Amino acid sequence: MKSEPLSYLPAGDQGPWGIYLEQVERVTPYLGKLSYWVDTLKRPKRVLIVDVPIHLDDGTVMHFEGYRVQHNTSRGPAKGGVRYHQDVTLSEVMALAAWMSIKNAAVGLPYGGGKGGIRVDPTKFSPSEIERITRRYTSEIGILIGPKKDIPAPDVGTGQREMAWMMDTYSMNVGSTTPGVVTGKPIAIGGSLGRQDATGNGVFFTAAAAAEKIDLPIEGSRVVLQGFGNVGNAAARAFYDHGAKIVAVSDVTGAIINEKGIDPYDLLEYVQKSETRGVLGYPKAEPLPAAELFAVSCEFLVPAALERVITEQNAWKVDTRIVVEGANGPTTPAADDILAERGIIVVPDVIANAGGVTVSYFEWVQDFNSYFWTEEEINQNLERVLREAFEAVWQVAQDRKVTLRTAAYIVAATRILEARALRGLYP
């Protein structure tokens, strides 16, 4: 008997969660006997919605909507970031948690998937207000999180600062310092070397692995990046350091182009000093209409911002050899089909941007052992893990004659559902 649809999302457009469900439907025919358990993937294990009230600096009280979702814990504790963004929704957080389940399983990490978020524009509040939001949110979700239950990390709108506040709040509430409750912390309180650039470096490692399969050299290749935040700028620097040419970049302020190449180190310095904190106005490049970014000819296109940016409306315009998904869910299923039809390789988010959670895993292990690795050891292990994961996914794609995304889901879903089947149902 099929399970009933979830009642707490609209029956029509289910947003990012709907995209995830379609991806699960596509992989189901490849799961064999494990498809008996496939509804496990279609239902989050736990969904917590919390009210986050704080005193603003002017003395008034404001309420924020917060979430924490644990999608699946068959293979280990939930793991996933906390997003601060004004457009955060339950559907989005559910999808992000589910993608974390797939990502952790595809890479082979002993985690399930989790995700959190608060509907807030962090740019419109002072540091002290953000601290109060973070601490209250942490207290509210404290019933779910813990170093052996659910380990948050940074995501869009959050970083080391917020993770330090979360760790401290949790530690105060349980009565002992607990570094392993979050990852992505500052080095001084149990963070890991290499974590800041891990996701962007992972984008480069998986891009390089894909390029090797089609004999595409990195040196001299052209790269277009949509998004120049933590992931985008780290990926840009990694490509640049290996001889690639960054020809176009966009962020929330706009898009820029220079076919002779953009120095990402210089661009990052400009962004950090500019009033808009964005790429628009960079004097060593020309402005470009944002809608034309994906049509810029390149060898690597890196969407590194938010979900659903490559759609069936613009997928026909994409002019690249390889799409490397630095963001979560940037390509819709319909766009996936178009890109596949056009022979464009898509390195899916669940392995392309898994560098962050991989180094988060390293941080978690280091916290438990109170023994920390060098940055060289971190980066060597990161590259090894991601290249091995990519190789396994590539082989499944060749054997089954499917896209890399479907292959990644076959690998991940098989691992998750094998764990579900072996553990059985309690009671």
Question: What confidence tens digit (pLDDT) does each residue in 292-349 have?
Answer: 999 999 999 999 998 889 999 999 999 999 999 999 889 999 999 999 999 999 999 9
Helix axis angle, 404-423 relative to 15-27, nearest 10°?
Answer: 80
* pLDDT 10s digits, 240-267: 999 999 999 999 999 999 999 999 999 9
Min mean pLDDT across 13-22, 31-40, 159-168 is at: 13-22
Contact 94, 10 (CB under 8 A): no
Rounded CA separation 356/269 (Å): 23
Rounded CA separation 336/212 (Å): 22
- Which of these, 283, 154, 308, lies nearest to 226 by C-alpha position? 308
Contact 414, 237 (CB under 8 A): no
- Which of these, 264, 302, 300, 305, lies nearest to 285 by C-alpha position? 264
Q: Name the residue with tokens 């040196």.
A: 219
Contact 304, 327 (CB under 8 A): yes
The pLDDT > 70 percentage for the chain reads 100
Structure tokens at 339: 């890109």
**Has residue 1 got a pLDDT over 60?**
no
Q: Three-state SS across 215-265? A: CCCCCCCEEEEECCCHHHHHHHHHHHHCCCEEEEEEECCEEEECCCCCCHH
Rounded CA separation 69/43 (Å): 11
Rounded CA separation 379/238 (Å): 12
What SS3 class is residue 277?
coil
Tell me the backbone φ, ψ of residue 291, rounded to 5 degrees. Answer: -65, -15
Burial bucket for residue 159 (CB in 10 Å: 0-12, 13-18, 19+)? middle
Min mean pLDDT across 9-18, 29-38, 292-301 is at: 9-18
Rounded CA separation 47/120 (Å): 19
* pLDDT 10s digits, 123-179: 999 999 999 999 999 999 999 999 999 999 999 899 999 999 999 999 999 999 999
* pLDDT 10s digits, 71-113: 999 999 999 999 999 999 999 999 999 999 999 999 999 999 9
Residues 261-294 as b/e (b if ≥16 CB within 10 A, e otherwise) read ebebeebbebbeeeeeebbbebeebeebeeeebb
**Has residue 232 got a pLDDT over 70?**
yes
Distant-in-sequence, close-in-space partners of 59: CB < 8 Å, separation ≥ 6: none
Q: Name the residue with tokens 């644990």.
A: 70
Helix axis angle, 355-369 relative to 90-107, nearest 10°?
Answer: 70
213 is annotated as an active-site residue? no
Residues 35-47 as b/e (b if ≥16 CB within 10 A, e otherwise) read eebbebbbebbeb
Rounded CA separation 271/124 (Å): 19
Q: Residue range 207-223: average pLDDT?
A: 98
Q: Are strands 286-288 and 254-257 parallel, antiparallel or unpaired?
A: antiparallel
**Has residue 274 got a pLDDT over 60?**
yes
Contact 115, 153 (CB under 8 A): no
* Sheet containing 222-226, strands listed edge to edge, beginning at the edge strand earlier in sequence: 286-288, 254-257, 245-251, 222-226, 300-303, 322-324, 345-347
**Has residue 276 got a pLDDT over 90?**
no
Tell me the backbone φ, ψ of residue 128, rounded to 5 degrees. Answer: -70, -35
Structure tokens at 206: 């998986």
Q: Which residues pair with 49 in a beta bridge?
A: 67
Name the active-site residue from 79, 103, 115, 185: 115
- Which of these, 150, 51, 100, lies nearest to 353 by C-alpha position? 100
Cβ count near 147 (within 10 Å): 17
Contact 258, 284 (CB under 8 A): yes
